[in-house]
Amino acid sequence: MKQLIIVTGLSGSGKSIALRALEDSGYYCIDNLPATMLPSLSDHLTTVHHHLVAISIDSRSAAIESLPDNIALLKSQNVDTRVLYLESNVETLVKRFSETRRKHPLSKDTTTLAESIAYERELLGNLGSLGHVIDTSNLSANTLRGWVKDVVSSEHAGLTLLFTSFGFKHGIPLDADFVFDVRCLPNPHYDPNLRELTGKDEQIKAYLEVHDSVQEMLSDIRAFVEKWLPCFIMDNRGYLTVAIGCTGGQHRSVYMVEQLSQYFQSQQKVLTRHRELK
């Protein structure tokens, strides 16, 4: 079966980087394909020797609103079609456009950059619900490339459970389906001997595991995910993203994500991300 990945999302969110990462992973890539050409893409795919194809579609494409119907058509034609939607917060997008001195593709003489970004977000509507969303806010290019490769290297059938740690002081991930706040738990940051470590280190694990509140919180989150996971599987979701946040995203949230990933990996495909760890 041919496999097609459609990369879309906000301008400046990293679509070109994602497409290059897919090319490095063996995909035949087509940049900025008009959405109107999607219905005829199935016939083209049968004539090429590439089984892995990736295309990018942006908000300037004609008939972008028809993308969901065209994706459904491709799937009915036995093309394994996946959507990768890249998102980012306004502050990051404004900074990127300012640094590169590029003009936003939807900008006009009468609109500001922030207004153009808001209009594009509205124009793309619910396209993120068609597939896997990656929030690229404050991500380096290397990190984004790694995340994209992780997504495409995972099994393509069924649901992938994605656990991500983050720091609230850097903002809540835009791609999270569920967000859990663990800032109420004991914080290793206040111990000078533990401050530079992370939730992956044995000393941090030992510090957190002796506190009943930590184990109770971990048990409650695990039970919640375990209870509702079957509903998302029945809904034919490709990914379910569970975000765990503490203050800086270095100790408590990392520990929680590591423990949850270890627990669920025996029963589900699992990906793990630590947004604030370099």
Distance (Å, whole) CA 248 – CA 125: 31
The residue segments making up the domain with residue 266 are 161-274
> What does the pLDDT read at residue 43?
67
Predicted structure pTM score: 0.81
Examine the domain organization and report whether 63 and 174 are in the same domain.
no
Same domain, 174 and 136: no
The count of structural domains within the chain is 2
Residues 6+ apart with CB under 8 A from 116: 104, 106, 107, 108
Residue that has been written with the tokens 């048990």 in this structure: 219
> Are 147 and 179 within one domain?
no
CATH code of the domain containing 103: 3.40.50.300
Of 265, 243, 267, the residue nearest 254 (C-alpha): 243
Reported confidence tier of residue 101, pLDDT bands at 50, 70, 90: confident
Indicate whether 166 and 97 sit together in one domain. no
- Same domain? For 258 and 220 the reply is yes
- 148 and 72 in a common domain: yes
Alpha-carbon distance of 36 to 120, in angstroms, equals 19
**CA-CA distance, 44 to 39, in Å (whole number)?**
10
For 173, other C-beta atoms within 10 Å of its C-beta total 21
86 and 120 together in one domain: yes
Share of the chain above pLDDT 70, in %: 94
Q: List all residues 6 or more positions away from 42 whose beta carbon is below 8 Å from its beta carbon.
A: 73, 74, 77, 79
Among 132, 153, 174, the domain-final residue is 153
* 166 and 121, same domain (yes or no): no
pLDDT tens track for 14-70:
999 999 999 998 898 988 888 778 877 766 666 666 678 899 988 877 668 888 888
Based on the fold, state whether residues 241 and 259 are members of the same structural domain: yes
pLDDT band of 76, cuts 50, 70, 90:
confident
Q: Which of 153, 176, 194 lies at the terminal end of a domain, its last residue?
A: 153
Q: Does pLDDT of 275 surpass 90?
A: yes
**Final residue in a domain of this structure, among 120, 153, 186:** 153
